[in-house]
Homo-oligomer: A and B are copies of this chain.
């Protein structure tokens, strides 16, 4: 086994460390975050940091890097108060990853990928058509993680759209049936298949 200590991590080249530390915390969720600017330009950005925060109310969180460089997603969310989360399916990974390219604010990532946008009458931010799970969320709060100046954005799910074949009788959503992917590190996309669902665990006597 390799063994790195904090001092070793500090001495590494930046790229090596980014690859390493972004990978070792395990598989991450894969989403396209859709927003609209005050000028009506739709923005789409890949995120691997969306997490479940609570079910009642339905709260999600995601992490934003330091705001020292322009962050269109963040400024759009602050302006409009809403955003969409769109699960990424296998056939969308190349275009999804491409949304991480640094386009100017006047450009919509929808115009530079084959990802199609979908407006829904009940929501002010754009969804990704063909995303097997689409969520319309409102901005709720943000927390500054002062240790590295990142932001935890907290949102509430107001609208939840799920492709029919994914939703099981007990409310569990089988992500595999939508070929939903997961992210390994900064740039690896992987497709899971279900091994097993376990019943509620009770102590052995």
Interface residue ranges, A against B (CB under 8 Å): 1-6, 9-10, 12, 14-31, 49-61, 63, 85, 87, 90, 93-94, 97-103, 107, 112, 133-135, 140-141, 143, 145-148, 150, 152, 154, 156-164, 167-168, 170-176, 180-182, 184-204
Contacts of A22 in B (CB 8 A): 52, 55
Name A's interface SS.
mixed
Given A56-B10, A204-B101, A175 and B26 contact (CB-CB distance below 8 Å): yes
User: What is the copy number of this chain in the assembly?
Assistant: 2
Contacts of A184 in B (CB 8 A): 172-176, 192, 194
B180 touches A26 (CB 8 A): yes
Contacts of A3 in B (CB 8 A): 159-161
Question: Measured between alpha carbons, how far is A174 from B23 in the docked complex, in Å?
Answer: 8
Contacts of A25 in B (CB 8 A): 29, 50-52, 60, 85
Among residues of B, the one whose C-beta sits closest to the C-beta of A172 is B19
Among residues of B, the one whose C-beta sits closest to the C-beta of A156 is B6
- Determine which residue in A1, A152, A190, A198 has the highest number of CB atoms from chain B within 10 A of its CB, and name it: A190
A52 touches B55 (CB 8 A): no
Contacts of A192 in B (CB 8 A): 27, 182, 184, 190-193
Contact of A15 (CB < 8 Å), options: B23, B162, B170, B188: B170
B9 touches A160 (CB 8 A): yes
B159 touches A24 (CB 8 A): no
Among residues of B, the one whose C-beta sits closest to the C-beta of A99 is B201
Given A154-B145, A191-B193, A31 and B20 contact (CB-CB distance below 8 Å): no
A54 touches B147 (CB 8 A): yes
Question: Measured between alpha carbons, how far is A94 from B184 in the docked complex, in Å?
Answer: 23
Among residues of B, the one whose C-beta sits closest to the C-beta of A170 is B19
Contacts of A112 in B (CB 8 A): 203-204
B21 touches A157 (CB 8 A): yes
Question: Measured between alpha carbons, how far is A189 from B175 in the docked complex, in Å?
Answer: 11
